Amino acid sequence: RLAQVHAVSTSADAFFAVSLAGSLFFNLSVDAARPRVILYLALTMAPFAIVAPLVGPLVDRYRRARAGVIALTLLVRGILCLFIAGDLRNLFFYPEAFGVLVLGKGYSIAKSAAVPGLVNDSGGLVAANSRLSRLSSIAGAAAGGLAAGVLYLGGAPLVLRLGALVYFTGAALAARIPL
């Protein structure tokens, strides 16, 4: 079940990334996009520094809450995507997008903490992690292609709204993880 949730989460992340690329970067000249690209890169690195020290110990302390943390991060990212769809042209966009990125790192930490609890032996841990990586690569590539088609046909707000639906699906699936 965690593999299904991870594939859905990666698909939703692909929708989010394609919407950002379509709304922030490709609609501008190179000179106008440069500061935004630098800001985006800074924002994608900052969540590691903020989330890891806070979420890691919390998830380790409350082992039974891992599925709840996974579901909550997916749910809130979906809600934020709906807000971002309406705020693509104003300043609320930046803290909302930052929230999605921070929650994505929180999801990653909770997912990584959940894997050992779902694998029976330590030898199967490497196989489980490689399976998750393989699944996420396939799901992300497929969803990214689909999101690019939606971006071309309907624009970034539609991609974000569909991405929100994918996040909500992942949250529902995460509630069924047996941790």
Give me 108's structure tokens: 């990653």
Does 53 or 175 have the greater pLDDT score? 175
Q: Worst-scoring range by mean pLDDT, 36-45, 94-103, 134-143, 159-168?
A: 36-45
What is the percent of the chain with per-residue pLDDT over 70, rounded to a whole number?
77
Report whether pLDDT(118) > 60. Answer: yes
What is the arithmetic mean of pLDDT over 158-174?
96
pTM of the model: 0.83
Give me 95's structure tokens: 């803290």
In this prediction, residue 94 carries a pLDDT of 80
Between 156-174 and 2-20, two packed helices, what is the crossing angle to 10 degrees?
Answer: 160
In this prediction, residue 145 carries a pLDDT of 95
In this prediction, residue 47 carries a pLDDT of 63
What is the arithmetic mean of pLDDT over 64-81?
90
Report whether pLDDT(45) > 90. Answer: no
How far is the CA of 50 from the CAs of 18, 39, 54, 77, 92, in angstroms? 24, 16, 7, 17, 20
In this prediction, residue 63 carries a pLDDT of 65
Most confident region among 37-41, 61-65, 88-92, 138-142 by mean pLDDT: 138-142
Q: For residues 156 and 115, what is the distance between their CA atoms, to the nearest angstrom?
A: 33
